[in-house]
Amino acid sequence: MNVVKKAGAAAVVKWVGPPVAGVGFFLVVVMVVFALLMTLMTAGASSAKDAADTQAAAANAASSCRVDAANSGGGTGLPQVEVPSEFVGPIEDAAKATGLPKEIIAAQIQAESGFKTSAASSVGAIGPAQFMPGTWAEWGNGGDPRDPADSLAAYARYMKHLLDLASGWAVDGGPDAPRLAVAAYNAGPGTPGLRQGQLPPYEETQGYVSRIFGEAQVSFSADCAAVDLPSDVELGDGEWANPLPGGRFTSGYGYRNLISGCAPDDMSLANGCFANHHLGVDFATGGGSGPGGVVVAPTDAEVVCVPGDAFDGMVQLKVSNGKDSPMLINFFHTDSQMVSVGDKVKRGDPVAIEGNKGFSTGTHLHMEIMKPGTPACKKPGEVDAAGRSYNVNPEPIMRQKGIL
């Protein structure tokens, strides 16, 4: 393996030349009057719209999770990337053998070789799964590394081995076993960090893992459905609004080694080790350290906790749209809050102002998701009676819901 909108309708009149007769002039006047009436009607309708609905519409102006129009036929739910026919069966067999979703395996083979049976790297890796000669000798069982069936069967045996190892490496609050195993496939199981439940400290490997899990959902799943959601989170139809209209995605979920000397599962606020665990995603409308943009409810929800400045400008919502699991949505670092406990908010309703409160470096919005059943006002990193974190990775949920 290599290490590796709709715009609002408006009538526009273009005067292409002076009218040459009275009838022509009359028609032009009629067209101009009609255009003015349409413009006034449109303006009136827009001014009558609820501001929150306008924000919600603007929030969904773009999403990386869209079914490819070229092969979707306008919304049939097909994946963006079609797996070559000779790989379909071997990938499904590998999914059964490893327990990994077939979308992740497809994304990994695409990343390794682009589904090319003749692929070869400058360091000697060959075939669709890019096995090095020594690794192939151990896991290839005498097959042909360039053959899709043999290559994917060997991939399944090796990946199952890595997943077994990774299940012993994973720590609460860190990357899950599949991500650790995919990192080990890229960089080797002896790479620093893995045995401590962390992704290796190499930008290339971290990018590889992010690419595999992102492309699995964006390119290979039908309707951009999440492929690695926690089992206790279920999503219905419908998109959510971007929580920070006009903002851009700036930072993802995952472990980062900011504070040295911390154990991988140490989430203590007292010693600062909590900073190593980015349990949500960040959005920002710009720079600076003062108030920023308006934060809106991604979906219909109930406000269940507003400690505000007492804890990093926190606002906590409980999803209540009747379609999705009643998970909790946490907003942090808000400059001010526009809601109170018990309020019912609709998709796109303003709830806070982006800010820089608490443990923060610059104006931005930090958003987290906690699994259904989490008691109100639980803070990031807290665990249930069984020692399991209440937090879940929000990225697959947000991709499926059209935010990322």
Looking at the chain, the whole-number percentage of residues with pLDDT higher than 70 is: 78
Residue 60 has pLDDT above 60, yes or no: no
3-state secondary structure of 195: helix
**pLDDT reported for residue 208:** 95
E strand intervals along 53-130? none
Reported as type and span, the H/E element at residue 31 is: helix 22-48
Cα–Cα distances (Å) from 167 to 39, 163, 356, in that order, read 62, 6, 37
Average pLDDT, stretch 189-207?
A: 92
**pLDDT reported for residue 266:** 73
Residue 333 has pLDDT above 90, yes or no: yes
Residue 40 has pLDDT above 50, yes or no: no
Average pLDDT, stretch 13-35?
A: 41
Residue 209 has pLDDT above 60, yes or no: yes
Q: List 318's β-bridge partners, or say none.
A: 302, 328
Reported as type and span, the H/E element at residue 126 is: none
Of 38-47, 72-81, 133-142, 221-230, give the range with the top mean pLDDT: 133-142
59 C-beta neighbours (distance < 10 Å), count: 24
Cα–Cα dist 254/65, whole Å: 20
**Model confidence at 214, in pLDDT bands (50, 70, 90)?**
confident
Residue 26 has pLDDT above 60, yes or no: no
The residues, any chain, with a CB within 8 Å of residue 400's CB and separated by 6 or more, are: 65, 217, 224, 225, 226, 235
Q: What is the DSSP string of 129-190?
A: TTB-HHHHHHHSTT--TTSHHHHHHHHHHHHHHHHHHHHHH--TTS--HHHHHHHHHHH-TT
**pLDDT tens readout for residues 348-400:** 999 999 999 988 889 999 999 999 999 999 988 888 887 788 988 898 899 88
Average pLDDT, stretch 92-108?
A: 95
Cα–Cα dist 54/184, whole Å: 46
Among 199, 202, 142, smallest CA distance to 175 is for 199
**Model confidence at 158, in pLDDT bands (50, 70, 90)?**
very high
Residue 53 has pLDDT above 80, yes or no: no
Whole-model pTM? 0.64
Q: Identify the residue whose tokens are 């609905």.
A: 53
Q: Token pair of 264, please? A: 């991988």
Radius of gyration of the chain (CA): 26
**pLDDT reported for residue 179:** 92
Residue 6 has pLDDT above 90, yes or no: no
